[in-house]
Amino acid sequence: MNILLTVPDLELASGGQPLAAVRLAAELASLGHAVSLAYSRRPAAAELPLPASVRGVAVPRAAGPWQRYRQFRAALETHIREQHIELLHDHGVWLPENAAAMAAARRQNITLVAQPCGMLQTWSLQQSRHKKALAWWLYQRRLLETAAAVVVTSEDEAQDLRPRLSAEVEIVRIPHGIDLPAPTPEAQRQRQALFLGRLHPKKQVDLLLRLWAELRPPGWRLLIAGEGEPAYEQQLRALVAERGLQEQVRFLGLVSGEAKQRLLAESQLFLQPSLQENFGFAVAEALAAGLPALTCQGMPWSELRDRDCGWWVPADPTAVGAALSLALALPAERLAAMGERARQLASCYGWRATAEQSLALYQRVAGTRSAKSGA
């Protein structure tokens, strides 16, 4: 099958969305299919590498939104015609590249699979809600409803999305995959808790720091690995200084590759009290590394509670604080036992399974054409 995946960019700072597209593309190619991945590129931006098995289509990013839309759509339409693409799978909504990808599929009369990546869940829609409401009314809903199927990664995301689309639109749940690490000798774990991810207000890193200041757990340190908007990052650093946490809290910046795996292997606890995520790659990676995790109920990780390998609590300060206090009081042996159960849970989330489920969907809907109008 000749498949084109699209994503707004492959920048490391963009988090899980480009990572999902790259990993899915690689697995689909390993199953013997011709796979291209198209994305916009900014000069000097640090990007995820593409495997040699995937044809990259890097489109220079134009200056304004309309120019970005026109340029990306034109590049996609050329690629679709020249490479005889059968199906386009777009990741995300709202950005010019997403609208361009959906419109290109319609204009070239090929099958479209859309994946909103959690951006149509309630919390996300409340951010810049007036702009999103206008975009939804003008074009975004109409474009999404030209898709043969809309992919979500959790039941929560499906429930949020269903009332927003017509009953004719098929919503299909396909969980994200994760990179399962190769077995290695167990590192000496230290009394350290790790936050790993994009620094964004919805991740509630500021709440984490305030709770840490209240608890000041003896012998522990908190590592914060990630980057975000400079203003929010500065707010977090100022909070550490204001609460006198310099001895216990360290900011590590963006961490990837072997350095990230080493951090996961050396820590005893993973913390991500996000208000909302449609999956949470960092949580899954932590589980795969044998770390119990503390997350909130805006994330699809009830199995942490069910399998006794972490905490899944309401996203309010009282509940998060109580869970954090309990976790930090546990002995290393208890955390290690929870970590082994976490590793067993993560083993269910390999990328091969995600690719096989995606491919089964593609083959079922291939050839579906929509007569509905789009941008």
Whether 233 and 274 map to the same domain: the answer is yes
- Does 276 map to a domain? yes
Q: Of all residues in the chain, what percent carry a pLDDT higher than 70?
A: 96
- Does 164 map to a domain? yes
- Does 375 map to a domain? no
CB-CB contact of 104 with 76 (8 Å) = yes
- Does 50 map to a domain? yes
Whether 335 and 357 map to the same domain: the answer is no
Whether 337 and 355 map to the same domain: the answer is no
Across 255-272, average pLDDT: 91
- Does 32 map to a domain? yes
Go through 190-210 and write b for each residue having 16 or more CB atoms within 10 A of its CB, e for each that does not.
Answer: eebbbbbbbbbebbbbebbbb
In this predicted structure, which of 5-9, 76-80, 172-176, 223-227 has the lowest mean pLDDT?
A: 172-176
Specify the pTM.
0.72
Whether 167 and 219 map to the same domain: the answer is no
**CATH number, domain with residue 254:** 3.40.50.2000
Say if residue 21's pLDDT is above 70. Answer: yes
- Does 30 map to a domain? yes
CB-CB contact of 42 with 23 (8 Å) = no
Q: How far is CA 59 from CA 7, 240, 267, in A?
A: 11, 40, 39
- Does 229 map to a domain? yes
Q: Both tokens of residue 192?
A: 């350290």
- pLDDT tens digit string along 144-201? 999 999 999 888 888 888 999 988 899 999 988 877 766 556 678 999 999 998 898 9
- Does 374 map to a domain? no
Whether 358 and 321 map to the same domain: the answer is no
Whether 63 and 87 map to the same domain: the answer is yes
Whether 126 and 152 map to the same domain: the answer is yes
Say if residue 304's pLDDT is above 60. Answer: yes
Q: Of all residues in the chain, what percent carry a pLDDT higher than 90?
A: 67
C-alpha 315: how far from chain center? 19
Domain that holds residue 274: 192-346
In whole angstroms, give the CA distance from residue 234 to residue 241.
11
Whether 321 and 246 map to the same domain: the answer is yes
Whether 115 and 227 map to the same domain: the answer is no
Whether 337 and 211 map to the same domain: the answer is yes
Whether 318 and 293 map to the same domain: the answer is yes
pLDDT of residue 159: 86
Say if residue 85's pLDDT is above 90. Answer: yes
Whether 232 and 166 map to the same domain: the answer is no
Go through 278-305 and write b for each residue having 16 or more CB atoms within 10 A of its CB, e for each that does not.
Answer: bbbbbbbbbbbbbbbbbbbbbbbbebbe
Overall number of domains in the chain: 2
